[in-house]
C-alpha cells in the first residue's frame, strides 16, 4: 500500500489504475454488445444491464479522475479516508462506508 495526499492509505496507484482500466474495458465491451438491442420494448433485461453498466462506467471514470487528481481514497462527501478494504473490494468507491450508508438510507 502507498500513501497519497493527506495520509490516506490506498493500494498501489499503478495497480489500482490498471485494475480500474480493466474493469472499465470489461464494462464498455458489455455495453457495445448489448446496446443495439437494449430498448425497454425490445429487450428489457438488456436495457437494465446496459443502464447498470453505464452507471458503473461513470463511477470508474470518476475514480480514474480522482487517481489523476491525487484525491483517490478520500470520500467525496466528507473528505475523510475510505477504508483500504473497501477500495480493494470496490476500487471505484467514491464514499466512505458511513457516508454511503447515509446516502443509501435517504
Query: Could you tell me the domains of the chain?
Result: 2-105 (1.20.120.910)
Quickly state the pLDDT bin for 102 (edges 50, 70, 90): confident
Burial degree of 86 (CB within 10 A; 0-12, 13-18, 19+): middle
Is the pLDDT assigned to residue 96 strictly greater than 50?
yes
- If one compares 12 and 6, the residue with the highest pLDDT of the two is 12
In this structure, are residues 102 and 80 in contact, taking their beta carbons and an 8 Å threshold? no
Beta-carbon contacts of residue 5 (< 8 Å; ≥ 6 apart):
70, 71, 74
Measured CA to CA, the distance from residue 4 to residue 89 in angstroms comes to: 19
Measured CA to CA, the distance from residue 78 to residue 98 in angstroms comes to: 9
Predicted pLDDT at 34? 93
How many percent of the chain have pLDDT more than 90?
A: 75
Coil, strand or helix: which one is 89?
helix
Predicted pLDDT at 103? 83
Predicted pLDDT at 2? 42
Going from the C-alpha of 35 to that of each of 39, 45, 53, 54, 57, the distances in angstroms are 8, 11, 11, 11, 14
Is the pLDDT assigned to residue 32 strictly greater than 80?
yes
Q: pLDDT of 42-93, one tens digit each?
A: 899 999 999 999 999 999 999 999 999 999 999 999 999 999 999 999 999 9
Amino acid at each position: 500500500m502507498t500513501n497519497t495526499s493527506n495520509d490516506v492509505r490506498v493500494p498501489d496507484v499503478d495497480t489500482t489504475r490498471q485494475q480500474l482500466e480493466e474493469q472499465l474495458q470489461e464494462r464498455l465491451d458489455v455495453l457495445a454488445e448489448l446496446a443495439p438491442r437494449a430498448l425497454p420494448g425490445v429487450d428489457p433485461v438488456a436495457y437494465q444491464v446496459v443502464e447498470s453498466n453505464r452507471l458503473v462506467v461513470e463511477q470508474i471514470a470518476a475514480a480514474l479522475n480522482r487517481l489523476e487528481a491525487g484525491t483517490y481514497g478520500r470520500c467525496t462527501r466528507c473528505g475523510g479516508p475510505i477504508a483500504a478494504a473497501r477500495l480493494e473490494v470496490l476500487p471505484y468507491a467514491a464514499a466512505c462506508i458511513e457516508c454511503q450508508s447515509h446516502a443509501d438510507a435517504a
